[in-house]
Structure 1
């Protein structure tokens, strides 16, 4: 049985669905929100859990025979950065403690594409040295620390760490007005019959649809062998806002969409994540391009608030 902490959040739920689709039994945890999305209803076991409670985390192993852990649970920073770091570090350490106590095979943990901030390249791969740089968000700072904490914390235990450098993910279950991703608010405005704020046509980047991200994580969790302990998780396919607008217009033909010319900050190229390592070790390729993702998301939103 595979444990997915934070398995009722966007990435966690899609990971759980992919694991079930691969034929695995899955336990998902949720803390403040424990509503089960329709695509998981009756397919997973749900454990309400505060991952900062070590005893409660370890007790999950008394009820289930856990073979692997995907640790995706996390919080959003408030006014006190130390409180956020204490909460998420405690959750990480408790999950690793459980992995060692139960003797699981793999412990996959969420990092972020933000660890590459400061690199001049536009195609980021796992062998790049991570620079010392000002980071854009406290969450990214924590994710960068997660990597050595996990690999050193599990060294010599027999538990294989799998660091997931997760890219820019969007899709069903994401806050439709999220400040962290431009696509859901753009589509939400279109669904309200409004003309979205026009973006620059040639801006964009590597953005992965949540079902693809979940499937990539599931494949990394269940692969017979992995040759590395760090993997980029994304589409590996940069898109532009022009392609996004075309996809939305094709799905909602009555809508008129404007675009600003060029790029907001002048000539250049948006970075993307190189997923060669992921593809070679798991066979993963994205199922959704931007047009297919927009069509799927609009259909989902027709019956779901987020």
Structure 2
């Protein structure tokens, strides 16, 4: 059985769904989120868990035969010290459980933000990570997660899997999320409003959440992994022009304003190289921009987020 902490969140739920589709038994944990997505209802075991509670975390191993862990649980920062203390406690408890239970693999969420400061495009796993100012507390924590995970599991027999997850969006994401521009942009269109114009050539590596979940699921189920760090994303840069075109194609009469060029001037949009992921697991994205937008709009017609 594979444990997915934060398994009712966007990436966690889609990871759990992909694992089930691959024939795995899955137990997901959630602390505050109680609503189970329709695509998981009756297909996974749900445990209420505060991952910062070490005793409660380890007690899961008495109720379930956990073979692998995907640690995706996290919080939204308010006070920096409180945020770091909480999310660090959750991470260390997951790593302690992995060693105590003797699981095969323990995957933890990092971020494409660890590459900030590298000018090479695409970003790939062999790049040295620079020491630079980081734009957000979450990115700072994710960067620290990597050595903490690999060193904690060294010599334990548990294989660490560091997930450098790209900018992911899709079903279950906050429609007005400040962390990704796509859901708020589409939400405005669904309300019948004209969204704020985007720069046509701007954009980035925006991975659709079902693809991200399937990539993580493959990393947990593939027999042999040759590395302990993997980029998880679409592996290509998408533009705002593609996003606008996709929305216009499925919305009769819609014409969206886009600005020429990029907001930051000439240059390339960064994206993640997923050659390592593809080579080891066979993963290729199912959704391009048009398919992702159409799928998301259909989902939102029946769901609030």
Query: CA-to-partner distance for each residue in 1:105-160, whole Å, 9 max, x for gaps?
Result: 00000000000000011210000000000001000000000000000000000000
- Given that residues 202 and 263 in structure 1 are in contact (C-alpha distance below 8 angstroms), is that contact kept between their aligned partners in structure 2? yes
CA drift at 1:263: 1.0
- Secondary structure at 2:204 match in 1: strand
CA RMSD, 1 decimal? 0.5
2:209 matched to which residue of 1? Answer: 210
CA drift at 1:253: 2.0
Aligned length: 305
Following the alignment from structure 1 to structure 2, what is the Cα–Cα distance between the partners of residues 215 and 60? Answer: 25
1:237 matched to which residue of 2? Answer: 236
CA drift at 1:215: 0.1
Which stretch has the larger CA shift, 244-253 or 272-281? 244-253
2:122 matched to which residue of 1? Answer: 123
CA drift at 1:252: 1.1
- Secondary structure at 1:143 match in 2: helix
Counterparts of 1:148-297 in structure 2, within 5 Å, are: 148-297=147-296
- Given that residues 123 and 273 in structure 1 are in contact (C-alpha distance below 8 angstroms), is that contact kept between their aligned partners in structure 2? yes
- Given that residues 16 and 26 in structure 1 are in contact (C-alpha distance below 8 angstroms), is that contact kept between their aligned partners in structure 2? yes
1:73 matched to which residue of 2? Answer: 73
CA drift at 1:192: 0.6
Following the alignment from structure 1 to structure 2, what is the Cα–Cα distance between the partners of residues 265 and 215? Answer: 33
CA drift at 1:264: 1.0
- Secondary structure at 2:39 match in 1: helix
Following the alignment from structure 1 to structure 2, what is the Cα–Cα distance between the partners of residues 252 and 224? Answer: 43
Following the alignment from structure 1 to structure 2, what is the Cα–Cα distance between the partners of residues 254 and 303? Answer: 22
- Given that residues 69 and 104 in structure 1 are in contact (C-alpha distance below 8 angstroms), is that contact kept between their aligned partners in structure 2? yes
Following the alignment from structure 1 to structure 2, what is the Cα–Cα distance between the partners of residues 174 and 122? Answer: 27
CA drift at 1:25: 0.3
TM-score by length of 1: 0.99
CA drift at 1:275: 0.1
Which stretch has the larger CA shift, 106-115 or 256-265? 256-265
CA drift at 1:256: 2.0
CA drift at 1:50: 0.1
Following the alignment from structure 2 to structure 1, what is the Cα–Cα distance between the partners of residues 40 and 288? Answer: 24
1:21 matched to which residue of 2? Answer: 21
- Secondary structure at 1:273 match in 2: coil
- Given that residues 6 and 71 in structure 1 are in contact (C-alpha distance below 8 angstroms), is that contact kept between their aligned partners in structure 2? yes
1:5 matched to which residue of 2? Answer: 5
- Given that residues 193 and 255 in structure 1 are in contact (C-alpha distance below 8 angstroms), is that contact kept between their aligned partners in structure 2? no
TM-score by length of 2: 0.99
Runs of 4+ in 1 over 6 A off after TM superposition: none
